[in-house]
A = this chain, B = another copy of it.
Amino acid sequence: MTYRRLYGIPDDWGTAVNVVAMVFGNMGETSGTGVAFTRDPASGVPKFFGECLLNAQGEDVVAGIRTPLPIEALAKPLPKAYQALVTTYKKLERHYRDMLDLEFTIQEGQLYMLQTRVGKRTGIAAVRIAVDMVNEGLIDKREAVMRVAPEQLSQYLYPIFDPQEEAKHQPVGKGLPAGPGAASGKIALTPDRAVEMKARGERVVLVRHETSPDDIHGMNASEGFLTAKGGVTSHAAVVARQMGKVCVAGCESLEVRHDGTVRFGTQTLKEGDPLSLNGFTGAVYSANIPVVESEVVQVIQGRVTPAQSEKYRYFSTFLKWADKFRTLEVRANADVPDQATIARGFGAAGIGLCRTEHMFFAENRVPIMQRMILAKNPEDRERELARLLPLQKSDFIGLYRAMKGFPVTIRLLDPPLHEFLPKREDLMVEIAQLHRKEDEGLREEKKKLLGRIEELHEFNPMLGLRGCRLGITMPEITRMQVQAIMEAACEVNREGIKVVPEIMVPLVGLAAEMKAEKDLIHEVADETMRRYQTKFRYLIGTMIELPRAAITADKIAREAEFFSFGTNDLTQTTFGFSRDDAAKFISFYMNRRDRCARCLRADVDQKTMTCRACGFHHAEPPHNILDFDPFATLDQEGVGALMRMAIERGRAARPDLKLGICGEHGGDPASVAFCHRLGIDYVSCSPYRVAIARLAAAQAALEDAKPKASRGGKARTVARSSSRPARARVRR
């Protein structure tokens, strides 16, 4: 009935019934049953792989009462049936040109095939099978590229838990999977403590209520981070992905207490206790689960040669094929030379976003930065900026060298300045604690500092004095940064390395802002090149990260040579969702469907649509508010509409406008596909997602080339015998 409704089959067609004889695997020692894969679904190695039981039906395998034998165990007792099975699997694989799973029963020595489907596989197996099948002449490269889901590539890139070890433990908490991989170590509750523990040779997991830029040194020293607050684009998450570290964010059951302990529900852990984070699932374990390192990353870091790693060779061959199809360029977000080197290793064709502020958070730089911010007049500020200049310049030199002629997009200072200062509330508490007479001097000093911090304090720093507003109200900052960018470029250029600096102005909402910054940049850049007696091309562009920038893109494009969509911020303002605060209600929005609309308990009788807890009857089933996290996957309807508007208006005003995206979405396959359809020139993502973006871009291009009608899902059921009794079905 459901079927007929579903497929729109008219009632008067009558009903066909297929009658097939049942087969039995439990008719003695010449009978049996089993399930197999035509290749190893974990590694992709081309080897028949499966399990069987003699004198058994499928349900016996499922029930787990008897331990199944490897598939080869059939060869001896039932050689004819086994040979028939081998012949059949090879024939089926050749026919369907893919790795298959098979279910079979042998009744008194006679093989019966029950079902075959395309087999599920790991990412690593998917790549190997695709490459092998091209080499075997079964499929072409185009098809190979389409056969691996981009996200599956992440299995190559990150350390993972030994699956059998992980299965032994129950999670103590669950958060958002915000930085992929697996990390295991001892709990540190402060960044200083993390550094200290790391120095003692310990592996550390940093646990924080939330992280902030002054935690960077501790994050660097840790294997992974766990936070109670924040979503997939929170500070902890963004830094984790860029550093290639593991992160579980917004773990609601976690409470970080002031007494040096943390709580998960009723369980209390203390600093130094073991903790493991699964960055793919968000699971948190109070145990030390063994981690397996990524071979691919070891090759890229130069610790293993490609010749030593078969996995790397498959990975690299596969991506080279993908690159032939894609039209979208892939760049990486990288702030320091080390990250740039990794990014090149993953195939990034340039840096799409270098966040210059990250350079200032280093321990030896923060004090200079603080003095610069607290300066009372432009002269004092300029003196401190002069101290920062050589430091920034040397970072840029490193970036240009690592990118070897590929473009390097450098964003001018963006965050609100108080991010660099001690926290206001911490200082207030310190002052309150300095109540003794002998503390008076120190108290007065701290009060003065607090006064200046109060002046800079903002209620909503995301919407405050940041981005280009900094450079416009304090042009000496822009001047110093442009000088560092251009002096570095001139010097690397002298070394004979081609340099393509792209200077990016953040948070522009008004064409007049862009013009003001552009004029200043041109002045300093041209003056610097004159000083070095050289001349090369550099670009000046802007981030499109405010709705107003998208709406007035035509005017802004008259002043900007490129646009880079900052989709994190654009999502924030389009939705009015703070990425640091919205995780909680976004997760509610994505799971509202499971709850009673009145009392929110997850106790609704799905048949009567009545809540068992409060008795509320639902006229229609509760709906989700959001089906995806807009900070992880681009909201095509809202944010995407603004992007389309910006592209149309921007290109109308400047036909050769270069377009990129450098938000976190640059590494999300669905968002990459959307960017391809929008006609953007490049996506830029964190170094560890470059491979994923390369594949997603290739698939988007191939999808685009396909005639509409042939598009469809990739998981196909190729054949299914409906004749076998339901209970005999073998499950995996």
Chain A contact residues, CB within 8 Å of chain B = 209, 258, 378, 424-425, 428-429, 431-433, 435, 447, 454, 458-465, 467, 469, 472-473, 475, 479, 507, 509-510, 512-513, 515-516, 519-520, 545-548, 551-552, 569, 572-578, 580-582, 584-585, 588-589, 592, 597-600, 619-620, 623-626, 635, 637-639, 641-642
In the complex with contacts A460-B462, A475-B597, A625-B454 CB distance below 8 A:
no
Min CB gap A32→B, angstroms: 52
Other contacts beyond A472-B585, A519-B620, A552-B637: 8, CB < 8 A: A429-B431, A472-B592, A472-B625, A475-B598, A509-B577, A510-B626, A512-B626, A551-B637
Min CB gap A324→B, angstroms: 37
Whether A581 pairs with B458 at a CB distance below 8 angstroms is: yes
Across the interface, A584 reaches (CB within 8 A) one of B428, B465, B577, B589, namely B465
Kindly list chain B residues whose C-beta atoms are within 8 Å of the C-beta of A454: 209
Residue of B nearest to A468 (CB): B625
Kindly list chain B residues whose C-beta atoms are within 8 Å of the C-beta of A519: 597, 619-620
Kindly list chain B residues whose C-beta atoms are within 8 Å of the C-beta of A551: 574, 637-638, 641-642
Q: How far is the CA of A559 from the CA of B671 in the complex (A)?
A: 28
A-B contact pairs, 26 of them (CB 8 A): A258-B447, A429-B429, A432-B432, A432-B433, A458-B581, A459-B462, A460-B461, A460-B578, A460-B581, A462-B463, A462-B576, A463-B577, A463-B582, A469-B585, A472-B625, A479-B598, A507-B576, A509-B577, A509-B638, A512-B624, A515-B623, A519-B597, A548-B638, A548-B639, A551-B574, A551-B642
Q: How far is the CA of A575 from the CA of B520 in the complex (A)?
A: 22
In the complex with contacts A425-B428, A462-B460, A574-B597 CB distance below 8 A:
no
In the complex with contacts A510-B625, A510-B626, A581-B459, A475-B552 CB distance below 8 A:
no
Whether B573 pairs with A574 at a CB distance below 8 angstroms is: yes
Q: How far is the CA of A569 from the CA of B576 in the complex (A)?
A: 9
Q: How far is the CA of A576 from the CA of B475 in the complex (A)?
A: 21
Min CB gap A104→B, angstroms: 47
Min CB gap A111→B, angstroms: 53
Kindly list chain B residues whose C-beta atoms are within 8 Å of the C-beta of A460: 460-463, 578, 580-581
Min CB gap A641→B, angstroms: 5
The 10 lowest CB-CB distance pairs between A and B, nearest first, are: A463-B578, A464-B581, A460-B578, A548-B638, A547-B547, A432-B432, A425-B425, A458-B581, A459-B580, A512-B625
Q: How far is the CA of A299 from the CA of B601 in the complex (A)?
A: 55
Across the interface, A572 reaches (CB within 8 A) one of B463, B585, B597, namely B463
Kindly list chain B residues whose C-beta atoms are within 8 Å of the C-beta of A620: 519
Q: How far is the CA of A625 from the CA of B515 in the complex (A)?
A: 9
Name the residue in A509, A624, A625 with the highest tally of chain B Cβ atoms < 10 Å from its Cβ. Answer: A625
Kindly list chain B residues whose C-beta atoms are within 8 Å of the C-beta of A592: 472, 516
Residue of B nearest to A431 (CB): B429
Residue of B nearest to A635 (CB): B548
Min CB gap A273→B, angstroms: 22
